[in-house]
Structure 1
Amino acid sequence: MLLQIVKKDFQRNKIITIVLFIFMMLSALLAACASQVIMELSGSLSNLLDKSKAPHFVQMHAGPIDNAGIQKFASTNPLVKKQQTVEMLRIDGSSVVLGNNNKSEENSVMDIGFVRQNPSFDLLLNLENQVIRVSEGEIAVPIYYKKENNLNIGDQVTLSNGQLDKKFIVTDFVRDIQMNPAIVSSKRFVVNDTDYNALKKNHGEVEYLIEFQITDLSRLSEFRNAYQSSDMPGKGPMIDYPLFKTLNALTDGIIAVVIILVSILLMIIATLCLRFTMIATLEEDYREIGVMKAIGISQRDIRRIYLAKYLVMAACASLLGYLLSLGVVRLFTANITLYLGTAPKTILQPIVPVLAVGLIFGMIMFFCRVILRRFNRITVVEALRSGTVGELKGNKSRIVLSKRRHINVNVFLGLKDVYGRLTMFGLLFFVFVICLFIILVPVNLLNTIQSPRFISYMGVGQSDMRIDLQPSDQIEKRFNELITTLNKDPDIAKFSPLITSRFKMLGSDGIWENINVETGDFSIFPLTYVNGGTPESGDEIALSDLNAKEWNKRVGDNVLLEVDGTSKKLTVSGIYQDITNGGRTAKARLPYDPKSVLWYIVALDVNPNVSVQEKMDQYAKLFYPAKVTHLDSYLSQTLGNTIRQLKLVTGLSIAISISISVLITALFLKMLLAKDVSQIAILRSIGFTLEDIRKQYQVRLLLVSGLGIILGTFAANTIGQKFAQLLGFFMGASNIQFVVNPLIAYLVLPLFFMLIVALTTVVSTISMKKSNLSKLIVE
């Protein structure tokens, strides 16, 4: 009997059943996808760290080194397990041509380095996560260029600087645990020992990677302090094992979190949709439920009849969602597979998505049981007498038609009904809020990352271009020549020379630690500060967000720096956000020692009628091999992969949200029409046309959707903002502010959303027929 009743119910409400089934399936699908992405990311990253024998601590250094001193430090420090010093030959991008592209990498933001395979650890792997071996004339190219330049096995890489022209054949692509992510602006190409030695004589300059593996990772900070407090080489960025993990997981981790957010919101909507459906069913079957109670069928058995349908539906939807996720998840894990590889399957990888889908199924059944408690309030007499659940208490509104002023009757009745049934319409309102939230948060996040203003989260002010001078012979002379040239150039509107040097700072534990401090005038291209402002005197310093958190410093606190051999007390003037160099930087107006300079940077703006690209080409040739970068292209090259992935998720979110708004509006109207069937008949009998009644329903839905749009936009800019800041926290930018396109976010998307709701309302209310008026009145 139960099966027959369930089958009949399916046949009677096919459209509603299909709609609800789709919601449940999508919720299960996204939950399974998100959990699979997380498991794949975790497994692949752990496998890559293991296969590559990742270093735990790396100090990059430009300039001569004392190998004997490094060996002595390694042998006397009990934490050191292994140590190696790796040479990396820095090649100017203007000398490198990749594939069939006729253009060099002159305008690339990436620093190109040629290396040999490492002997002990920090192994460079191919696409099968095997150690790369190349013969003479062969080269292994970073995966970044495979994706950005569409390179394939067999393509050529050409080096040419006027002294030595060399062609290499691409035989592999490099997975590099240190420099894999696009956000890391250095890339390592692997060549044969013989080719490396030949290039070393004719190309570029050597930079060193001083690498360590330690015996106890939990004591990494202790080792870092020991290294920094010694006289070890340190003219370059310092990176460590936790940072490798963060940078490699960043792009796909963000995508996984966004998918989880959408899945949770979709689950909430699915439960509200389920509530609408079940209430509509109870409205239609109210009299039949009374009959079943009257003939002695127990309340428990009646609940089982209704629960059986949703049990079958939820089970099938969850199963189908999981099966579909096995194919759909490849869209989200393709980037993980390319950059990190595929890890051996563990028992948890298939189990966790199943548990995620099982959680969705369990939540659906729990809400079904909660909703079916309404049976406890149904009495036999009331059900047989009225045949309807009846109106809510709030429906006894004090707003009466006779008191309306200058308002159309249909508009007034629509507004009055919303006011009278706030609880019912409140649920629909909440769904609309979530739908718009699902649309606006990914759109705003994408717009923020694509905005030129995002450069402020990289610890630099917004300018047209920047010129980087890396340490080399006579670099200070070349820097002074650059400043002189800029002063004389009438095309330059303003410029700001910035010098990054290594200083010693006294930590909270009493140990002097190395800190990279950028010196210069920061008022020319100001940063956006979380707290405080620009250091304006030589007694002030601004700290990056991560440094401030690590040292527990706030604006107004003091820090102790070693400047010119003496201790100097500086006051923290501001805290800014920076996702470069591990997020650990500082800015001050201090005298610098040319011997401790890490790099020179000049940020500049050109006059309004001057071509930025032409000026970039001019200075690239004039001060070769300086790296001249357009800041807009810097963002697209370093964050391009993240942007592409986020575009995919944003498109999916918009499609899901619009589909939800259509389906939930149609479902709600079906429930409302079933509930209002007697009222519709009465309105028709006193002279209201079907068009009048349709307008009343349109007013109701447009009012609710309009209010939902307002609150949804507010929620996206507050709760969504906090969500973006949570993601940025792990990068050193914990106060990311959305860059909103007002035309899109406040006009185009809301109007499109309301148009969808209006069209759905029109289509759904067509079901009101002119016939059977007398039957409706009798009922």
Structure 2
Amino acid sequence: MYLRILKKDLKRKRAMNVILLVFIILASMFMSSGVSNIITVTTALDSYFEMADVPDYFAMSENKSDHKDICGTLENASAIDEFRIEEFVSMSQSNITRVGEPLNASNLSQKLVLQSDRSLGINYFLDDESILKSVPKGKIYAARFTEKNMGLKAGDKITVEIEGVNREFTFAGGFKDAVLGSELMGIKRFIINAEDFDEYMSNETIKNMYGGKFVGIHTADLDKTLSQIADISDSFTIANGTEILDQAYIFDMIIMGLILAVSIILIIISFAVLQFTIAFTLSEEFREIGVMKAIGIRNIKIRGLYLTKYFAISVVGAGIGLILSYPFGKMLINYSSESIIIDISNNGFVNAACAVLVAAVILLFCLGCTGRVSKMSPIDAVRNGQTGERFRKKGVMNLGRSRLGATAFLAANDIVSSPKRYAVITFTFFLCMSLLIMLSNVTASLKSGKLLKYFGMADCHAVTDIGGEAMKFMAEDGHEKVETYLEDMEQTLAENGMPAECMTEYYIYTMIRYGEYESKTAILQGTGTTMDMYEYLEGTPPQNSGEIAVTTLLAKKLGAEIGDTVTLSYPTGETAEFIITALYQSMVNQGISVRVHTDCDINYIAASGSPGTQIKFTDGPDDKEVLSRIEKIKELYPKFSSVKTAGETVKDNTGVGDAIDAVKKMSAVLTVILAALITVLMERSFIAKEQAEIALMKAIGIRNAKIYGQYTLRFFITASAAVLLAELLGMPLTKLCFDPIFRLMGLEMGVEYVQNPMEIYAVFPVIVLTATAVSAFLTSLYTRKIKSSDTASIE
């Protein structure tokens, strides 16, 4: 008998059961892929670092500032288990040319190094995730982002020319670099054969001025190791532990965090809709339950019948969802960063366990909902599930006093009369819309020139590389050479109708001390700028060469405040004292940096690089004119590998703007699908529940078109309320979710987010409301099958 009743029920309510099955499939798919991705994302970096054999401490030393015996000190340090040294030659993007066509380097702030394959300190992963062991002579490999930014393809012929040593290589492909692979790590490697590398190192100028070493230290006691190598710490241009390395991948983790957030939101939506659907479908089956009670079937048998039905649907749905979760989860992960290897091959058990959990949760929902069975009586079958008693008004609206038309009034009254019923719809649409708004805000911000200040740069219109002059400026008189270079550029631009201020920044990594505390830091010095062109959080800009500004993170680390005197130890062995006059925030060196006065006398022989030349037009051109001038600058300076707008520079520095944009577009598609499915499910449920009311309206002469309008309008009103609420809370939610991420990079006060008004206030609301209205209208057409005679029909 059970099977016969179940079979008839499945056939009779085919549409509702199919929709329920669809949402169980979605819940299972989202749950399985989502939890699997959550586990993958939270362990991705640790797993990647382990596979790459990342050292516990990583440092860089350049020969031009190396005045101590690094190898000897490392060998005598008893706390070091193992150390590895990789030799490199510093170069700039202008040292690399592609045979037959120019390179288009999009990230100007990256410093490039040419490295030998003789002693590889970590595991570098190729496109097929195999480990790079050696490089054939005449071949060259590049870090993945460098390959992408320069537009390199396997088989390209490129030439590397440094100080007269010119060699042609065949590009063999890209590799993932766990230590320097993040966009925020301002150094990118090229790896060549050891014999090819020796040809460059045979040149004494290259060896002494551009040569250097990467040092990787493996140790079980990092604090002891650092104390044992303290006398060579000044020789390290860059020195990082693994905790700093984690922060360097913060933008890559944003993508993974977004994938995690999308998965969680989809899971919440699916279960919210499922709970509503199961409770709603059970509550409307008063006739069947009343009849079964009338013929003597006990409560436990009736509940068992529904549990059997939903068990069958949930098993089928969970099985299909499990199968779909694998490609869906892989699709989500594919939107994550290209700089990390993410292993999802071992999560099959997790997916299966989540699918089983979905089926179990659905049965628990059903078990809880069927508790109402014991409260029902046979008389409910006669009274259409109503007791006939009501001690309050059905709604708060009054037709006689309302200025709304009949259709609009009925739609609005339905919503206010059953707020819990429509709260589920509002909640799900709010989640979807909020996700889109947050993604839009972050994408627009990471592509906006307003974030340039957080990379230690003054506001400008365009940024270009320094061409072949970059390495020549890293000399004792480098500061003076930079000033002359910028003056010449300003004169050239003015002569060509583009009056502008030209400026640049140079980074020098050194040690800073205050009392008993010390820290590795980056010195930022602008040339062509004034100190008031930068943003400060507290204090006043440095007024002379004896004053500096420090980041809030560094001040906390040193325990220093405005007015305190700190000591900088340059890589050349010189020291100098400065008074702190201001605090600021920056993402340079993971938020640990100082800014010295533009007149401060610094030996640029220890400089590590520059983010490029900044151009600020003084005649106030609009965006279109700026783009036109950028093209003109490219013609004037063909040696420049790239000229970018400020926004494009920010996008290239973060490296995740396009990836977030892709996640946003994927979420928009999912939102449309979910909006349509939720609307169809809810609308179909409401029509089944309100069959008698629809029949009564037809009996008193209300036309089908009016009924279509009522059933469409109430969903449109609900979706509109959700959209409005999401737009009001969009920016606070963005700050709540993303400010903690930027704080990890040293921006304790958060960032100045940028909005795309067209997306937030036009595109997204239109697609959500259109999907809702169309779905509601098409589903409302089902009311045509209901006749006026159905007012008394109880089957």
TM-score, scaled relative to structure 2:
0.84
- Are residues 1:139 and 2:140 paired? yes
Distance in 2 between residues matched to 1:361 and 1:551, nearest whole Å:
55
Structure 2 contact 140–170 (Cα < 8 Å) conserved: yes
Q: Quote the residue 2:401 is aligned against.
A: 403
Q: Quote the residue 2:479 is aligned against.
A: 476
- Are residues 1:215 and 2:219 paired? yes
Deviations 1:217-256 (CA, angstroms, capped at 9, x unpaired): xx546655775x64544473333323334545852x3333
Distance in 1 between residues matched to 2:357 and 2:743, nearest whole Å:
29
Q: 2:758 aligns with which of 733, 739, 743?
A: 743
Q: Quote the residue 1:776 is aligned against.
A: 791
Q: Quote the residue 1:308 is aligned against.
A: 308
Q: Quote the residue 2:571 is aligned against.
A: none
Q: 2:603 aligns with which of 588, 595, 604?
A: 595
Distance in 1 between residues matched to 2:228 and 2:642, nearest whole Å:
34
Distance in 2 between residues matched to 1:335 and 1:37, nearest whole Å:
12
Q: Structure 1 residues 104, 691: closer, same or farther in 2, change over 3 A?
A: closer
Partner secondary structure for residue 400 of structure 1: coil
Q: Quote the residue 2:430 is aligned against.
A: 433
Deviation, 1:757, is 1.8
Structure 2 contact 41–260 (Cα < 8 Å) conserved: no
Deviations 1:316-339 (CA, angstroms, capped at 9, x unpaired): 333322222323344344578975
Deviation, 1:516, is 1.8
Deviations 1:63-95 (CA, angstroms, capped at 9, x unpaired): 525475323432454433334443321233234
Letter in 1 for 2:210: V
Aligned-residue CA RMSD (Å): 3.7
Letter in 2 for 1:477: E
Deviation, 1:275, is 3.4
Q: Quote the residue 2:210 is aligned against.
A: 206
- Are residues 1:671 and 2:674 paired? no
Deviation, 1:130, is 2.9
Q: Structure 1 residues 122, 620: closer, same or farther in 2, change over 3 A?
A: farther
Structure 1 contact 721–737 (Cα < 8 Å) conserved: no
Distance in 1 between residues matched to 2:674 and 2:342, nearest whole Å:
35
Partner secondary structure for residue 516 of structure 1: strand
Letter in 1 for 2:414: D
Structure 1 contact 123–131 (Cα < 8 Å) conserved: yes
TM-score, scaled relative to structure 1:
0.86
Q: Quote the residue 1:576 is aligned against.
A: 585
Q: After TM superposition, list the pairs within 5 Å mapping 1:173-252 onto structure 2.
A: 173-200=174-201, 206-216=210-220, 219-220=221-222, 223-224=225-226, 230=231, 232-234=233-235, 236-247=237-248, 250-251=251-252
Q: 1:526 aligns with which of 514, 529, 534?
A: 534
Deviations 1:664-712 (CA, angstroms, capped at 9, x unpaired): 1122222222232222233333332222233233332222111111112
Deviation, 1:750, is 0.9
Q: Structure 1 residues 7, 221: closer, same or farther in 2, change over 3 A?
A: farther
Structure 1 contact 501–518 (Cα < 8 Å) conserved: yes
Structure 1 contact 31–357 (Cα < 8 Å) conserved: yes
Q: After TM superposition, list the pairs within 5 Å mapping 1:156-555 onto structure 2.
A: 156-160=157-161, 163-171=164-172, 173-200=174-201, 206-216=210-220, 219-220=221-222, 223-224=225-226, 230=231, 232-234=233-235, 236-247=237-248, 250-251=251-252, 253-334=253-334, 339-340=339-340, 349-388=347-386, 395-404=393-402, 406-463=403-460, 464-465=462-463, 469-470=470-471, 472-473=474-475, 474-486=477-489, 488=491, 490=494, 491-496=498-503, 498-502=505-509, 504-506=511-513, 510-520=516-526, 525-527=533-535, 531-532=537-538, 535-537=541-543, 542-544=549-551, 546-547=553-554, 550=557
Structure 1 contact 57–240 (Cα < 8 Å) conserved: yes
Q: 2:632 aligns with which of 579, 595, 614?
A: 614
Distance in 2 between residues matched to 1:681 and 1:393, nearest whole Å:
25
Partner secondary structure for residue 594 of structure 1: coil
Deviations 1:629-661 (CA, angstroms, capped at 9, x unpaired): 654443444444x33433332222112211111
Distance in 2 between residues matched to 1:124 and 1:498, nearest whole Å:
31
Gaps of 5+ in 1: none
Deviations 1:350-384 (CA, angstroms, capped at 9, x unpaired): 33333444444444333333333333443333443
Letter in 2 for 1:306: Y
- Are residues 1:764 and 2:779 paired? yes
Deviation, 1:446, is 2.4
Partner secondary structure for residue 586 of structure 1: strand
Distance in 2 between residues matched to 1:415 and 1:105, nearest whole Å:
58
Letter in 1 for 2:585: Y
Distance in 2 between residues matched to 1:257 and 1:457, nearest whole Å:
22
Structure 1 contact 283–389 (Cα < 8 Å) conserved: no
Partner secondary structure for residue 97 of structure 2: strand
Distance in 1 between residues matched to 2:552 and 2:369, nearest whole Å:
48
Letter in 1 for 2:130: N
Q: After TM superposition, list the pairs within 5 Å mapping 1:708-727 onto structure 2.
A: 708-727=722-741
Distance in 1 between residues matched to 2:248 and 2:388, nearest whole Å:
59
Deviations 1:587-640 (CA, angstroms, capped at 9, x unpaired): 34386442375356653313435713433664675xx9x997654443444444
Gaps of 5+ in 2: 569-573
Q: Structure 1 residues 12, 462: closer, same or farther in 2, change over 3 A?
A: farther
Deviations 1:97-140 (CA, angstroms, capped at 9, x unpaired): 34x76113566524332111253733545445334212332223
Q: Structure 1 residues 172, 244: closer, same or farther in 2, change over 3 A?
A: same
Distance in 1 between residues matched to 2:580 and 2:723, nearest whole Å:
49
What percentage of residue pairs aligned between the two structures are identical?
A: 19
- Are residues 1:693 and 2:698 paired? no
Q: Structure 1 residues 764, 104: closer, same or farther in 2, change over 3 A?
A: closer
Q: Quote the residue 1:659 is aligned against.
A: 673
Give the total of aligned pairs. 760
Structure 1 contact 619–628 (Cα < 8 Å) conserved: no
Deviation, 1:3, is 3.4
Partner secondary structure for residue 309 of structure 1: helix
Deviation, 1:37, is 4.2
Distance in 2 between residues matched to 1:272 and 1:561, nearest whole Å:
57
Letter in 2 for 1:385: R
Deviation, 1:286, is 0.6
Partner secondary structure for residue 189 of structure 1: strand
Structure 2 contact 548–578 (Cα < 8 Å) conserved: no
Distance in 1 between residues matched to 2:105 and 2:263, nearest whole Å:
43
Range moving further from structure 2, 309-318 or 664-673: 309-318
Partner secondary structure for residue 401 of structure 1: coil
